[in-house]
A = this chain, B = another copy of it.
């Protein structure tokens, strides 16, 4: 597919943490984002609202976004609320975008193509609906086939959800490609799929097939590559999402993991889960490594670096947190956005060389 331009619907929610898909689209799709809709920030630029993203304008209404020149190719439904249902008021906005000739991309759990009113409108207008979370219909139960890749498999994991697993993978992708390593990206969430143009939203897959989906994604993205980066989801310690995380771990069977961490959070994220305390990082590392080893006891994958998300704390505090991560785990650490991804790129490249050397001897 050619690369479309977008306006992003994020009414009442635009922000780094509140609208992950929207803010990541702004970060990684650059000038393909023509405008963002959120009346709370109307008149400001994206950069003014969230600290990055340049001078892309934020407008008050969808009508305003559609009155601008040039008209975007598509509307992106830019938030994915917990549970994923389509807010009733959004339906009218979506149909009006279709009527203006835009395609609509959505990461909602509720597929737009399954919504009779939206689907009929798209049909009538000759426009396309892209449901980023709609999984393929021919998935199977995982079988461990991911172990057969020539490419080194690297999975990003986390202390929690929303700690930068996708961002870390994308930053590594740039850095590894720049250093000459052929690198694939297996997208497992709606935003990653939007950016990569392919992938499977594993949290939308029927639960029997989580690891099968991870395996298939890994095999596809690994073909012809030196390294495949698998976008992690959730956390083993998140009582709402841990099953998805474990299925992804046991389906992709990584050679190595990068642990993502948001130092400002002492408990699991979100109003419903703060009763779960997060342990110290070395304990988190051990949990991932041991849990992975259950299905590959001979050569279990290791955590080889820590990637921090420090956008909500000051720079000194962030540097202290990076130092803390290295002290506790003995591993290279950085916030790849704030301080650059280099320490992690180097760690991954060295791990790759080590595996290759072990194979040839």
Q: Nearest Cβ in chain B — how far from A201, in angstroms?
A: 9
Contact A208 B109, CB 8 Å, known A82-B141, A83-B140, A141-B241: yes
Instruction: Establish whether residues B240 and A243, one from each chain, have CB atoms under 8 Å apart when the complex forms.
Output: no
A312 contacts chain B at the CB level, 8 A cutoff:
no
CA distance A313 to B186 in the complex (A): 45
Question: Which residue of chain B is the closest to A277 with respect to CB atoms?
Answer: B297
Contact A244 B294, CB 8 Å, known A82-B141, A141-B82: no
Return chain B residues, CB-CB under 8 Å to A140. 82-83
A51 contacts chain B at the CB level, 8 A cutoff:
no
Instruction: Establish whether residues B83 and A240, one from each chain, have CB atoms under 8 Å apart when the complex forms.
Output: no
Contact A144 B244, CB 8 Å, known A203-B208, A239-B251: no
Interface pick from A174-182, A268-276, A346-354 = A268-276
Chain A interface (Cβ < 8 Å from any Cβ of B): 82-84, 109, 140-144, 202-208, 210-212, 236-237, 239-248, 250-251, 253, 272-273, 275-277, 287, 291, 294-295, 297
A208 contact from B204, B236, B277, Cβ within 8 A: B204
Contact A208 B272, CB 8 Å, known A142-B239, A239-B142, A287-B294: no
A240 contact from B205, B212, B272, B297, Cβ within 8 A: B212
Return chain B residues, CB-CB under 8 Å to A142. 239-240
Return chain B residues, CB-CB under 8 Å to A275. 144
Q: Nearest Cβ in chain B — how far from A306, in angstroms?
A: 19
Instruction: Establish whether residues A208 and B84, one from each chain, have CB atoms under 8 Å apart when the complex forms.
Output: yes
CA distance A200 to B297 in the complex (A): 33
A142-B239, A204-B207, A205-B206 known; 6 other A-B pairs, CB under 8 Å? A83-B140, A141-B240, A203-B207, A207-B244, A239-B295, A243-B244
A243 contact from B210, B239, B294, Cβ within 8 A: B210
Going nearest first, the 3 A-B pairs with the smallest beta carbon separation are A243-B247, A143-B272, A141-B240
CA distance A204 to B210 in the complex (A): 11
Question: Which residue of chain B is the closest to A83 with respect to CB atoms?
Answer: B140
Q: Nearest Cβ in chain B — how far from A346, in angstroms?
A: 31
Instruction: Establish whether residues A294 and B237, one from each chain, have CB atoms under 8 Å apart when the complex forms.
Output: yes
Instruction: Establish whether residues B204 and A206, one from each chain, have CB atoms under 8 Å apart when the complex forms.
Output: yes
Instruction: Establish whether residues B211 and A239, one from each chain, have CB atoms under 8 Å apart when the complex forms.
Output: yes
Return chain B residues, CB-CB under 8 Å to A253. 239
Instruction: Establish whether residues A207 and B272, one from each chain, have CB atoms under 8 Å apart when the complex forms.
Output: no
| Of A109, A210, A239, A272, most B-chain CB atoms within 10 Å | A239
Return chain B residues, CB-CB under 8 Å to A207. 202-207, 210, 243-244, 247
Instruction: Establish whether residues A203 and B204, one from each chain, have CB atoms under 8 Å apart when the complex forms.
Output: no
Instruction: Establish whether residues B144 and A239, one from each chain, have CB atoms under 8 Å apart when the complex forms.
Output: yes
Instruction: Establish whether residues A239 and B244, one from each chain, have CB atoms under 8 Å apart when the complex forms.
Output: no
Q: Nearest Cβ in chain B — how far from A259, in angstroms?
A: 15
21 A-B pairs with C-beta separation under 8 A: A82-B140, A83-B140, A141-B272, A143-B273, A144-B273, A205-B206, A206-B207, A207-B210, A210-B243, A211-B239, A211-B242, A212-B240, A236-B246, A237-B294, A237-B295, A239-B250, A239-B251, A243-B243, A243-B244, A243-B248, A276-B294
